[in-house]
Amino acid sequence: MTLATAWLEFYPGLQQNPLAILTSIAVILLLYYPSQWLYLYYFHPLASFPGHPAAAFSNRWLLSNYKGFPEREFEKLHEKYQTKALRIAPNELHITDVHQYKTVYNNIRPFLKDPAFYHLPTIPVHSLFAEIDPARHKERRKMLNPLFSRNAVFSLEQTVHEKTNILIRKIERICEGRLVDINNAVRCTTMEVMMEFAFAKAANMLEESDTTFESRILQAFDGYTGSLWDFPLIQKMGAWEMVHEAMEMLVAGSDTTASTLTSGVLHIASNSEVQNRLARSLQETELDANGMLPLAELEKNIFLTACIKETLRIGTPVPGRLPRIVPSDPPFLVDGKVIPPGTVVSISTYTMHMSEELWGPDARVFNPDRWLGSGSQGLDQYFCSFSKGSRMCIGQNLAYAELATIMAWIFRHFQVTLPEGFEPPRQEDRFELAYVTGLPVKISVRK
């Protein structure tokens, strides 16, 4: 029985009196919304957790913070209310207890993904990223693992070098007397690599500025779906499933890597000592017979590795929320309070990587040497650019290969400086960290 039918049974005369019906509807609304608001603010299981007042009533406050950098707004509110569990929606908490990261994102007893966040219209429900069922995710990851193995990435090394070489030659041609937007440059490069990887087609973005991107992507779908049948496990996927995975690879595998490279160029160009030290270390790496910097040799360059790790740490290519649902047991405690089962929680990469408790008072400073000291091995447990646990990013081997190759060639071959009157670029969290205003820099060929 609905509320409306119950009301009619209680007041049978309403059916013959339109004015009474309208009055009753108004009374119901006047009673329902205030009672709902009172419940959410004072009696909801999360009512004792502080947060912006508007966050208790609906998701609108949270959604209004999507445009910009919500993690910085959360950070201010955590400080204002002196809490490690901030209410950011009626049933969601943002957590800054960095020691609970392994609890929320773990292999043994994972907190399940929140379908309201991952099942958006633009995200395929059962793609590797969005799949919330652990068993289905495990099976899908098993299908895709061969594509992202270390051996598979090394087989793609030639492609990464070819695209990087085009990038370097083009910068050489255009850099004199003008600023180069390095953000656009590396975005084109990483997109080229991912197009080859996911679709087995070249986009030629670095060579043809007037390329019609949509038509090339459509053409690439055919190449991708045709080439995948060589992997027996992936034959279990339908055509649209493969298309969805490929599109996810393209977005996640190109823009996140490009964002990291942009962050690396920004911070290294800001510190001449670090830049010169990196350049000297790269000059010591010998080219192979084909004039390439072999990936196996770049991996041995400890200062390059330190610069990449520090860039991933401070650049936080995926800075924001990855919401999970608190299971029924064991009890999950933050700030001495039990978080009710069914609550949506998240601990962001930004929170982890900016924590002075973990990284020291210079947590917001670009310092590659933190990865080279005697206690540096212990830092890896707090490093979560690729997340942790069973949902760790499947493409990290490819990301490291692109980062090492492109960063090595840029700083081996060029001197990069920030222009006069430089202002930090505007950043937005668009799931990946976006440099909205680009990063124009001065580039000159090293003597």
Q: Please give the C-alpha separations between residue 185 and each of 191, 239, 338, 371, 384, in angstroms, as whole numbers.
A: 10, 32, 48, 28, 26
- Residues forming beta bridges with residue 446, ordered by sequence position: none
Instruction: Measure the N-to-C terminal CA separation of the chain; round to a whole number of Å.
Output: 83
Is position 393 annotated in a ligand binding site? yes
Looking up tokens 């609108």 gives 60
CA distance 386 to 384: 5
Cβ-contact 67, 427 below 8 angstroms? no
| CA 212/CA 204 separation, integer angstroms | 10
Pick the closest to residue 442 from 423, 414, 413, 405 (CA basis): 414
Closest CA to 182 of 366, 402, 442: 442
In contact, 50 and 86? CB cutoff 8 Å: yes
Binding site as annotated, residues: 393
Question: Which residues define the annotated binding site for heme?
Answer: 393
